[in-house]
Amino acid sequence: MTVQIRGQRVVLTPLTPADLAWLVHWERDPAVARFAGQRFDSLAAACTWWQAAQADPRHVVLAVRLPSGQVIGDVELVEINWGRREAELRIRIGDPRYRGRGLGRDAVRAAARYAAGIGLKQLFLRVDVRNVAALRCYRAAGFRSRGRFTAGRRKADGLADMYLMVRALDAGPGGGAGIGPAAAGPRAAAAD
């Protein structure tokens, strides 16, 4: 079953190879790379990253789309721990025209529903304390800070203080039935 998680204003669907050129383009934007890092710097590298994600039961990558189907960003669940039923959430609204308009929090809420639907009980994330837009977005989407730590991101930037933020998830449809790697991934999880 193909995933399609509807927010109020965005839809999460599988990220496809056709979307990757947009991701490469956005990752060249310093405003994205500053806080979200850079996963790849070429289309070939993006394809390799995408293929690895498809094969990894601990990694889910979804596109954030407008109702028209236009991709404006992506959201990931990484390092999914099926024993502890938790994962780290990462998000980028890559298209600058759509940042700061409430679409990020809509996508994060939708991703939380998706995560609950595949049986996860908790999401966490790490965010640079200087990333005010992200902090507002995550707080609005139900994440709360659980601590502050200092971490190195990229050599050029030196060390930065980060918040660890956590959101507990409600039980998904069916009480989390179908938990585990076989139920995860954009291809297999149920839509909500």
Ligand X SMILES: CC(C)(COP(=O)(O)OP(=O)(O)OC[C@H]1O[C@@H](n2cnc3c(N)ncnc32)[C@H](O)[C@@H]1OP(=O)(O)O)[C@@H](O)C(=O)NCCC(=O)NCCS
**3-state SS class at 73:** strand
Shortest distance, position 177 Cβ to ligand X, whole Å: 31
Helix spans in 28-156 (H):
30-36, 43-55, 103-117, 132-140
Contact 84, 51 (CB under 8 A): no
C-beta of 55 vs 159, nearer to ligand X:
159
**3-state SS class at 109:** helix
- Give residue number: closest CB to ligand X: 104
Q: Which residues in this chain contact ligand X in the complex, by CB under 6 A?
A: 31-32, 35-36, 91-93, 99-105, 127, 131-134, 136-137, 140
User: Residue 61 and residue 76: Cα distance in Å, rounded?
Assistant: 5
C-beta of 133 vs 168, nearer to ligand X:
133
Question: 59-78 b/e with 16+ CB inside 10 Å = b?
Answer: bbbbbbbeeeeebbbbbbbe
C-beta of 28 vs 187, nearer to ligand X:
28
C-beta of 15 vs 36, nearer to ligand X:
36
Shortest distance, position 133 Cβ to ligand X, whole Å: 3
Shortest distance, position 77 Cβ to ligand X, whole Å: 14
Shortest distance, position 111 Cβ to ligand X, whole Å: 11
